[in-house]
Structure 1
């Protein structure tokens, strides 16, 4: 216990040299790391480091930072369109993170994946050959799969930004916002508010399958029952199937107190219209996911009073202002992923020394605190996040249950 306090004291003393946002993620990491590391040897990944002399060779190409610890940053910087735009935004966010974290002892080696499996594989090979001890990215699932296969064989951990849980594995951690966290948070909250009779309208795709599995589990955990689950298909702008499934729910509305509609965009509002026309809509609480974080949902009058989970937005607003000031445009909501990943890398280098990217350090149960709140990695590569619950007002949202700032003991 004395070691933990002294380590935290040393970290807090760095406040004069680090931004507040940089300190928060590093501080929580130390709080957990010293508890997990004190008096024990954490061990390394098999084969780590793959080439202890690689870090002595000069790095060619795009590099951010001048630190001694090399970290790969794999992004889709070619291919055109939205893919290239995301790659540039994530690169900018990583650069902003290093400017905020003064004295960061890391050097980001930026490589283009093209968003493909082969591009991810080649980019990972290049940064590992240049001495990278950790890889941040890629963004898209195929590239994560390609990079992950190389990184695992070399013992280099990956912190990727894909939302496809199929590419997560031991040593390949997803920092993105995952459907599992959303569903757990919103169903658990609904249960805590006395909701017991649940129904769901889910897209008939892989996302819907994941959402359904967690929904069933969490409703049972909340002591509720499932009245109906409907899966719908959308073909272009044709909403006939969605209407039919919503009408089926409406026919059972007298026995439902909560309706889960995870999709965002125009889907929640459309479902609400159908329910209002054909059921006891006023008695049903609609709940959603982070996909509802859009003006289209938040400003729909029929959805007033509906709930959805999401990260605390206060950190993002501050980040967005700094990003716009430096790069001239407002960043998309997910730009914080690259920022938090970079701060995480710099914070672990500063706080954990030689153990910095070890698997037990990365999956420490205390987690880390970033712009989007508290998060932690699980051993299977998925993550858990502390999320707030928002209520739609018809002209925006309001927080009705704040995001936790830490994970509870034994959680």
Structure 2
């Protein structure tokens, strides 16, 4: 046991840095002043100006910005006969500068904005250009900034929770205990699971929270076990990441008597990175999601061939933004970048599979349901290749 807990505790200590990088801070979205959310008219016969807002000079995110810019240019090279004039602006990871750069981009002719990376900066950019009728496709995953002229491209907890609980319900699982840390990210995760449970007819038997510390995780384990058993739940849904409390729960809950043979484990985060997660007892038979493996592999291979290195995990979001804009401009309509076009039900083909933007500013992505068998990842239900299938 001690040999396992040592690395899991190290992973736990990394969580604060990871949570800070995700940047979930946000303000209220501002509604567009143009009818229906609008969008500027575009001349699809000429190069369409598109602004990419990334934190180039942010010392903590410069590498992400570079990888995103590379991915955007890779997507440009994939467009068939579509002309896009990509213009890159530096936000420095700062909300005020993001707003200033968004205004500058629109003044210089940008018809749509891709980025920024962080939620607060994206909200500021959206507010700054709302009166101009320009839409913002943010790289954030924070649903609280979505709406009006701001659309988020980052994978959402609601999308993941809905995919997992929809699949679990079809396997006969109908009651769940939610386990989340007492922080902003944990609250977002809990709310997403509760909403997905209601949508899929799954009963939330109980909600168990814990303070963001190793001691609190240890103390929460017997309480979670007793809650699952006393409330007659058949599943436990963990919101924590591999860099947070997830490894400890996957080790300690089975040791405390919550067997994966009788209780379905599932989680909002990926369980295949780092690989040591795959050997933990609670991971065996558990449910988690992955993006479309085939699409992801193809994107990563193309990126390596072009740039000689692997893309940052978030780089695909910039590729997706260009792919969506390119697909819409190719239709040749003057309202190609308006709200109605952006939210077309058929969606788009992206770096990691199909995705679509919703009228509320959030998104849906085609996800595969995966599990762990014999310490190896196994796909239980493939990612859908289009909308309308079992995964949606």
- The TM tier, using the shorter chain, reads 0.7 to 0.9
Rate the CA distance shift 1:280–1:160 in 2: closer, same or farther, 3 A. Answer: closer
Tell me the alpha carbon deviations over residues 30-79 of structure 1, each in whole angstroms, 9 at most, x when there is no partner.
xxxxxxxxxxxx97756845xx9xx9xxxxxxxxxx96110001000002
User: 176, 200, 210: which is aligned to 2:154?
Assistant: 176
Whether the aligned pair in 1 keeps the contact of 2:221 and 2:256 (CA below 8 Å) is no
Provide the residue aligned with 1:160 in structure 2: 138
1:403 Cα deviation after fit: 1.4
Listed as ranges, the matches of 1:5-404 within 5 Å are 45=37, 48=40, 68-81=47-60, 83-235=61-213, 239-254=214-229, 255-265=232-242, 267-281=245-259, 282-296=261-275, 298-302=277-281, 303-393=283-373, 395-404=375-384
Tell me the alpha carbon deviations over residues 256-310 of structure 1, each in whole angstroms, 9 at most, x when there is no partner.
3211012121523311222222224131111012443513465223112111122
Q: Secondary structure at the match of 2:333?
A: helix
Whether the aligned pair in 2 keeps the contact of 1:253 and 1:279 (CA below 8 Å) is no
Rate the CA distance shift 1:252–1:290 in 2: closer, same or farther, 3 A. Answer: closer
Rate the CA distance shift 1:296–1:361 in 2: closer, same or farther, 3 A. Answer: same
Whether the aligned pair in 2 keeps the contact of 1:320 and 1:330 (CA below 8 Å) is yes
Distance 1:315 1:103 in 2: 22
Distance 1:46 1:286 in 2: 44
Q: Secondary structure at the match of 1:345?
A: helix
**Unmatched 5+ residue regions in structure 1?**
1-41, 56-65
Rate the CA distance shift 1:307–1:297 in 2: closer, same or farther, 3 A. Answer: farther
Task: Indicate the structure (1 or 2) with the bigger Cα radius of gyration.
Answer: 1
The two structures have a TM-score, normalised by structure 2, of 0.83
Tell me the alpha carbon deviations over residues 116-161 of structure 1, each in whole angstroms, 9 at most, x when there is no partner.
1111111111111111111111111122122111221110111110
Whether the aligned pair in 1 keeps the contact of 2:162 and 2:200 (CA below 8 Å) is no
1:201 Cα deviation after fit: 1.1
> Between Structure 1 and Structure 2, how many residues are aligned?
351
Whether the aligned pair in 1 keeps the contact of 2:228 and 2:236 (CA below 8 Å) is no
Whether the aligned pair in 2 keeps the contact of 1:375 and 1:385 (CA below 8 Å) is yes
Whether the aligned pair in 2 keeps the contact of 1:187 and 1:219 (CA below 8 Å) is yes
Q: CA RMSD in A?
A: 2.4
Q: Secondary structure at the match of 1:115?
A: coil
Rate the CA distance shift 1:226–1:346 in 2: closer, same or farther, 3 A. Answer: closer
Whether the aligned pair in 2 keeps the contact of 1:309 and 1:387 (CA below 8 Å) is yes
Whether the aligned pair in 1 keeps the contact of 2:115 and 2:139 (CA below 8 Å) is yes
Distance 2:225 2:176 in 1: 13
Distance 1:128 1:261 in 2: 42
The two structures have a TM-score, normalised by structure 1, of 0.80
Distance 1:394 1:297 in 2: 13
Tell me the alpha carbon deviations over residues 157-183 of structure 1, each in whole angstroms, 9 at most, x when there is no partner.
111101122221222111110111011
Q: Secondary structure at the match of 1:77?
A: coil
**Unmatched 5+ residue regions in structure 2?**
1-33
| Mean Cα deviation higher: 253-262 or 239-248 | 253-262
| Mean Cα deviation higher: 219-228 or 379-388 | 219-228
Whether the aligned pair in 1 keeps the contact of 2:148 and 2:361 (CA below 8 Å) is yes
User: Greater helix percent: which structure?
Assistant: 1
Provide the residue aligned with 1:16 in structure 2: none
1:346 Cα deviation after fit: 1.5
